[in-house]
Structure 1
Amino acid sequence: MQEGIKGYDLIGDVHGCGATLVTLLETLGYKLDNGVYRHPKRKVVFLGDLIDRGPRIRLAVTVAKRMVEAGAAYIVMGNHEYNAVAYSQPAPPESGQRWLREHTPRHNRIIADTLAQYRDYPDEWEEALSWFKTLPLCLEFDGFRVAHACWDQALVEALWARRPDASMDDDFLLETCDPRSEAYRIMDRLTRGPYVQLPAGVAIHSGDGFTRTSFRAHFWADGPRTWGDVVFQPDNLPGALEERALSTEERRQLSYYGSNERPLFVGHYWCEGIPALPVGNVACLDYSAVKYGRLVAYRWSGEATLSADNFVWIPVAKEELNGRRSVGNDTD
């Protein structure tokens, strides 16, 4: 613990539910002080994905950014912050592309709400993008770890060797666009987590309108044997695929976080229902806030074994989401 700090409040994916974020902070005992939410004895750790989909994206970014810059909070990069940076960054001429993240219909849809809400505030959007580029991909405290989607020790160590502050520079950002590169593997695993490709011709058609050819997998199963042992998403696998055996190559590509490791907090996986712990040292705090779900925090006060009693959440009311243009989850 930092001197005078009694604990940390870890907050999952906000996705533009800015009013609910303010309510959650106030519920946790944070008070507005000169434009910054502060607590006398605690600090916040945001798990990324502040932006996209919700109706008050600018508010969510402003609240979090002010807290981080004032030392009242920390934050890690989510895949949506990374997507926004790459979407807005021109590609080098030799690449044959215009943008690092091409402006395809799918990518346009994902970021549409964010761009719409910043349309009349271009300077504010440029400031937000500049801030996103500085965000670390992971954080390690004395008693716990934080990543948006997954902690893979080998990749984290490779990141630290290149970037001791765990953030990107321009060269690292450019390299993340090459699927063959180390930077791509680091960014992909820490912000998107493990996933398994579906068989050719098989897809998951989600209620949000996206079609996916892979499924999200977790990384704490000891000796998983089947796809059902690792699937971690609300969408069911088609047919009898949960019983399909993991191949040697699929097992090799999965990360593993052992039960003897310090507590880890992630977001990303759009869980549903009442917040619960999948294992004693891992907490997922993304409970689909922007789908009328819950904006969830975990109040950590030094415990080595996590407890579901320490979850705090605010249901996202329909009034919060009135006027949003689109809602969806993506695997990008």
Structure 2
Amino acid sequence: MNMTGGIDGYDLVGDVHGCGATLGALLEKLGYHLAGGVYRHPRRKVIFLGDLIDRGPRIRLAVSIARRMVESGEAFMVMGNHEINALAYYQRCPPGAGCEWLREHTPRHNRVIRETLEQYRDHPAEWDDTLAWFMEIPLLLERDGLRVVHACWDAPLIERFRAAYPEGRIDAAFLRESAYSGSFAFRVLERLTRGVHLSLPEGIAIHSGDGFTRRTFRAHFWARDPQTYGDVIFQPDNLPGALELRRLSDDERALLPYYGPEQCPLFLGHYWCEGVPALPAPNIACLDYSAVKFGRLVAYRWDGETTLSADKFVWLRVPQDERARPRPGGIDLDS
């Protein structure tokens, strides 16, 4: 395949969540080198899958690395739900929406964004500029025979969205419209950056490893004819009891889009996978392997193949002991 710009391929990088030093080290492992403050490769480009911010120890560094690469033409990026969350956290609701902020300042939401705000506390102008940059990032990407979205590729919804936003970028009006739960903007942002969530039966909840209690579970969208919850669950937290055997209702099945094996390669983040990276389908790769939870920061080296291979994953572990974590050679982390 002849790729745009004559490059050899793309290196797709999963959710960084503030693991900025590990990101630099991973890029160096992939053969990128700092030149003029930007990581560059002579024959390849990076695609970031979103969720640069929140939770991790070097959020500003993660944003700086990715932004400099994107603005220098060395990388592309799609927005994750955490970039959307940050924008919504600072956007007041329109009149009549029944809320004060698009993302209400609840204890739970405050906790998620706390590390980001703390690390930008002494750099308010930089944070404002970062929020403005987030608005320039598209929700999805199709390029040289691959597709990228943070959580879910819903073709009919994307077709309608791109009819109004051909570049895949939202604007301030679209963000404000998302305050209304039944609106088109709300559905687009929920589906593309958060995926499909199915409700658990009344009275049942999942107590996740991250300390949150959830009454929904994340479902994938590449099962041809799913029949049970177990056919579609895609998250590290198991369902309570025997719920994996519970039959999907017709209404639940109707919520699930379908991405078939005949479609082009699709790359996702978002789903907090664990263990050794593996492919959930021959043409689908999830690259979120819980880096900020002491998992792995994962990339996939794509060279134009239509059938993906687990041999193309490249990763670095993120050990709990900070002294044992990978450090980039080209960045002085102590300056």
Please indicate, yes or no, whether the TM-score normalized by the shorter chain is above 0.5.
Answer: yes
Counterpart pick for 2:142 among 129, 140, 148: 140
- Following the alignment from structure 2 to structure 1, what is the Cα–Cα distance between the partners of residues 136 and 91? 14
C-alpha deviation, 1:321, in angstroms: 9.1
- What runs of 5+ residues in structure 1 fail to find an aligned partner? 323-332
Query: Which residue pairs with 1:184 in the alignment?
Result: 186
CA contact (8 A) 1:17 1:320 kept: no
CA contact (8 A) 1:19 1:320 kept: no
Deviations 1:71-129 (A, max 9, x none): 00000000000000000112234445332211011110110000000000001100110
- Following the alignment from structure 2 to structure 1, what is the Cα–Cα distance between the partners of residues 253 and 99? 34
Equivalent residue letter for 1:90: R
- Of the structure 1 ranges 170-179 and 94-103, higher mean CA displacement relative to structure 2 is found in 94-103
Match runs of 1:1-332 below 5 Å? 1-320=3-322
Percent identity between matched residues is: 66
Deviations 1:149-168 (A, max 9, x none): 01110111011011111111
- Following the alignment from structure 1 to structure 2, what is the Cα–Cα distance between the partners of residues 267 and 100? 23
- Following the alignment from structure 1 to structure 2, what is the Cα–Cα distance between the partners of residues 175 and 188? 13
TM-score where L is the length of structure 2: 0.94
C-alpha deviation, 1:319, in angstroms: 4.1
- Following the alignment from structure 2 to structure 1, what is the Cα–Cα distance between the partners of residues 97 and 213? 28
- Following the alignment from structure 1 to structure 2, what is the Cα–Cα distance between the partners of residues 258 and 24? 31
- Following the alignment from structure 1 to structure 2, what is the Cα–Cα distance between the partners of residues 47 and 169? 20
Deviations 1:3-55 (A, max 9, x none): 22110000000000000000000000001010100100000000000000000
Structure 1 pair 196–95 and aligned structure 2 pair: CA distance change class (3 A): closer
Structure 1 pair 281–122 and aligned structure 2 pair: CA distance change class (3 A): same
Corresponding residue SS for 1:318: coil
Equivalent residue letter for 1:183: A
Corresponding residue SS for 1:107: helix
- Of the structure 1 ranges 185-194 and 84-93, higher mean CA displacement relative to structure 2 is found in 84-93
C-alpha deviation, 1:317, in angstroms: 2.6
Corresponding residue SS for 1:313: strand
Corresponding residue SS for 2:6: coil
> What's the Cα RMSD here?
1.2
- Following the alignment from structure 2 to structure 1, what is the Cα–Cα distance between the partners of residues 251 and 204? 19
- Following the alignment from structure 1 to structure 2, what is the Cα–Cα distance between the partners of residues 125 and 320? 25
- Following the alignment from structure 1 to structure 2, what is the Cα–Cα distance between the partners of residues 6 and 205? 44
Deviations 1:204-234 (A, max 9, x none): 0112110000000011001000000000001
CA contact (8 A) 2:15 2:291 kept: yes
Aligned residues: 322
CA contact (8 A) 1:147 1:265 kept: yes
Equivalent residue letter for 2:122: D
